[in-house]
Chain A
Amino acid sequence: MPSRHPEEAVFPPRTRLRPHPRLSLYARLAGYGFRRHSAYRAAALAGAFTNTVFGILRAHVLIALWEARPGLAGYDVADAVTFCFLGQAFIGPMQLLGGGVQLAERVRSGDVAVDLLRPASLQAWNLADDLGRAGYLFLLRSVPPTLAGAALFGIVTPAHLATWAFFTASFVLGVVVSFGWRYLVALSSFWIVDDRGTQALSMVMAMFFSGMVLPLNLFPGWFGTLAQSLPWAAMVQVPADVYLGKRDALEALGFQALWAAALLALGALATRAARRKVVVQGG
């Protein structure tokens, strides 16, 4: 047998299968985000209680509305009540009332200097932390209102396993879109010292255009079309419709993925601009 030349056909040495180092960094960060929030269980439970109470109030309003106008927006009463409690369940994970990203506060206090020193992406760092936060708040703030809604009014549950799978993906994408938006709002504090204005504006937009106040398919004409194509729709309306089976799941996921990609790309650009601003103009 001819001996093989030592330099040919050398396979790369077998390494143990280990996750990519950056991946394990961000996975761990997500875990820390989860645990960091679990330190504030009382606050989360208080939030869940509020979400549940408001859910009950909203459900009564929607029941009255749908009894007066059955079949409105293609929902029956049970769909409308389900939509209401799903919306309540999304408030925590999607952080529909704003905030969640600590960055704005850190820019104001100057702690962001520590973040800027780290050899890591500021955006990915915050995204990982936020996904962990959303995971924790899903357990504490999404499950209770949903169960309460189911017990008090009865809610629709998807019959097919596929719908559950699509809904899960849609929910996660909703959180990512929500992060993409909130991260941009938080980044604005690099330019605007007091970000309360942008936060308040963001909250109003998110509340209305997510479908939290009223389902977006209630609005006819160009306004309805516009509302349904903005990123906030990806946070409540779209995942709720996927759950209710009112929308083609793949088209819905595509819509969310597009917004997630667009907002994250915009966030990456804005991060570069923010870094350059600090580096060039001082912080």
Chain B
Amino acid sequence: MIEVDGAGRSFTVGRGRARRTVHAVRELSFTVAAGEFVGYLGPNGAGKSTTIKMLTGILAPTSGRLRVAGLDPTRRRTALARRIGVVFGQRTTLWWDLPLKDSFELVRLLYKVDRNDFRRRLDELTELLDLAAFMRTPVRQLSLGQRMRGDVTAALLHDPAVLVLDEPTIGLDVVSKAAMREFLGRLNAERGTTVLLTTHDLGDIEKLCRRVMLIHHGRLGFDGTLEDLRATTPGEDSLEDVVTRLYTASPADR
């Protein structure tokens, strides 16, 4: 479903003499099969967002190639948008001043979703994510947890094969977090939606991801099961300590 083959992305920053090249991502290679639920970890500035931007077609790789749902993201951005769902936890696709349901109605037109399919999916998501109580509330009056459920719904109404989540649980309280995790788990298990989840919340990873990829200094530092990840640091029980060790290890160690 996702194929990344030697993808690299560098940026030129600064002017004149201070001009230099920053490699946000180097020679990144991985594949995600249909139906997988993959956690994508990495410290701030490791290249996670750059990867997501490349996968969704808003950033072209400077080297290597990518394919998502069979498409080259930058060349087929519009076609790809109809096959993937994207949630940026820190941003919203919803209309701030309008009732939540109006944003969904716009999604229907934007993605050309058939009316009946739309109605069915919206009913389903309303039930699963418990949206009914605030469907008519303007988005600006929603709590963060409610808004995030709204954003996830908006990303799923066109029934994408792949869902890319960038920190979907950021700032959520424990109850909202648990509800979001349960929903994402079911979405993956029951509908078979492929999920790529970026998060700093290791609880998300432990609860949801069978497979974990860890990016550090723009390179893939680890790719394996959660058990393999723990096994990298024998004697450490807490995932947090394991990840801390991997984050702080210098790139030469690997």
Contact = CB atoms under 8 A, between A and B. Distances in A.
B58 A21 contact: no
Interface residues of A, number: 25
Contacts, number: 66
A116 B58 contact: yes
Contacts of A21: 109, 112
Given A25-B109, A278-B59, A118 B97 contact: no
A139 interface: no
Nearest to B62: A280
Interface in A91-118: 110-111, 113-114, 116-118
A282 interface: yes
B98 interface: yes
Nearest to A31: B102
A101 B46 CA distance: 33
Interface stretch (A32-40, A226-234, A241-249): A32-40
Given A114-B92, A282-B11, A24 B59 contact: no
Contact of A281 (B11, B56, B93, B112): B11
Nearest to B102: A32
A283 interface: yes
B63 interface: no
B223 interface: no
Given A32-B95, A113-B91, A117-B86, A279 B58 contact: yes
A74 to B, nearest CB: 44
A120 interface: yes
Nearest to A113: B58
Given A35-B97, A111-B91, A117-B86, A28 B59 contact: no
Nearest to A276: B60
Interface residues of B, number: 33
Interface stretch (B34-42, B74-82, B120-128): B74-82
B10 to A, nearest CB: 9
A32 B96 CA distance: 11
Interface in A242-283: 278-283
B81 A279 contact: no
Contact of A118 (B50, B59, B110): B110
Contacts of A25: 106, 109-110
A24 B106 CA distance: 10
A19 B9 CA distance: 43
Interface of A: 21, 24-25, 28-29, 32, 35-36, 39-40, 110-111, 113-114, 116-120, 278-283
